[in-house]
A and B are shown apart, each in its own frame.
Chain A
């Protein structure tokens, strides 16, 4: 067994290497340059409508300390993860069933091919009429946004499992159950996580639009409400918050994916 100090040393080594890596600093340099150019543009008297980074830095703490700001995060996140979770379960189950059965695939696929190009927001009018609350309407839209990318990636993942793995599993005497659990599912996992990462990004796009259209709280509503009340700082803060929320969600998805597929890389 590896002694503890060895693990600690390794972790330290990994972190310090990350700190020393050029990629991290290049990324930071990109972000700083962006804000710098923005600031310079304001100094030159351009884009006067938009607050400068310095004005933002001054105004954002006050906006954040207002009551309700963090509650907006909670409200939007809840919608995102509710819609996403239902989509993940449905997408995985239906995707696996379609991946296993040619007949069911032939039956279901054409229907989905018609529904898939309908943008999630095009469902809004119908959803408002159908669902009893705006909360359910918004969750439903995020579900629609997340469902198809998950389903399609599960299907692609199962299709792409190298046929030699199936053949090898057959020669090794696999039962149907083992073929499914130990070969097809793990073989499709990397693709599934690609789908989940794409889907979580889409759910944020959808929930923001849905909140602007029919919400009374959440980050999307906050951004829209700032527009209605002419709060430029509120608008930009809303946008930044949404960006950070989306980035954090994708990051979580990636980490979960890496933990679930330890054989990759």
Chain B
């Protein structure tokens, strides 16, 4: 089983002075990202936290290579990122499992595309589905399972490709409160086993602190990195830690920063005035 807890030495991602402007002309230009600098240390779970509507998903798209930054550069283990590649994988909001494939086909798709023999890929997919608690569901279609199961299947589809960097774009959004809590615990257990370098995006402060080694707090648009906070809570973590004093301090600090930004996001007109 997957019990090694080695910290991986790859997946170090550097976002260096990245800006993103949408719109062709000066009049309609919208500055989404303005000078974002942070890094995701190899083997870490770094959380990108910011009010909804700030450029979090834009940042994910840039790092994934789906879009190009207007300014600045992004590197993964020193190599510049310019296009989508199998070294980075995105777990999308809601679900992006292919609805027309069974869970097994979904998870085995990546390795088959990169040239692994079908039998071998399906075998590993099957094992991985069992590891995320979906044994017996591998022949179901995504629409036939619950939201929480879909998220786990999608994490399995990402893990099987052994990416250097996993980009999780608010993956648990839309789940009910209870499932979300369970998913967080479950996901942390998986992370402790795999230690795949991860950038996890969320707008939920509790989720952010519970998961993170390091918190990158963003402002509202035009987005800059406000602060980077290290979260020294030990791993493995559990929900009791949410009442510890370290947790309280970090939350206080983060909340203070987020509050003003959330206010701007809540009423952008007022913020501009």
Contact = CB atoms under 8 A, between A and B. Distances in A.
B38 interface: no
A227 B84 CA distance: 67
B96 A168 contact: yes
Question: What is the size category of the interface that chain B forms with chain A?
Answer: 20 to 34
Contacts of B90: 167-168, 171
Question: What is the size category of the interface that chain A forms with chain B?
Answer: 20 to 34
Contacts of B86: 171-173
Most A CB within 10 A of own CB, among B85, B86, B88, B100: B100
Given A173-B86, A263-B143, A186 B92 contact: no
A186 B161 CA distance: 23
A171 B89 contact: yes
Contacts of A189: 100
Contacts of A39: none
Interface string A159-196: 00010110111111111001000110011010000000
A182 B109 contact: yes
Contacts of A178: 113
Contacts of A164: 92, 96
A189 B98 CA distance: 13
B141 interface: yes
B110 interface: yes
A162 B96 contact: yes
Contacts of A169: 98
Given A167-B64, A172-B109, A263 B100 contact: yes
B66 interface: yes
Interface in B97-118: 98-101, 109-110, 113-114
Nearest to B169: A164
B141 A263 contact: yes
Given A172-B109, A173-B110, A263 B92 contact: no
B99 A263 contact: yes
A110 interface: no
Nearest to B98: A165
A159 to B, nearest CB: 17
Given A172-B161, A175-B113, A167 B84 contact: yes
19 contacts: A162-B96, A165-B96, A167-B64, A169-B98, A170-B66, A171-B84, A171-B86, A172-B161, A173-B85, A173-B113, A174-B113, A175-B113, A182-B101, A186-B100, A186-B101, A263-B99, A263-B142, A264-B143, A265-B143
Given A167-B96, A170-B84, 7 more contacts: A168-B92, A171-B84, A171-B86, A173-B113, A173-B114, A186-B101, A261-B100
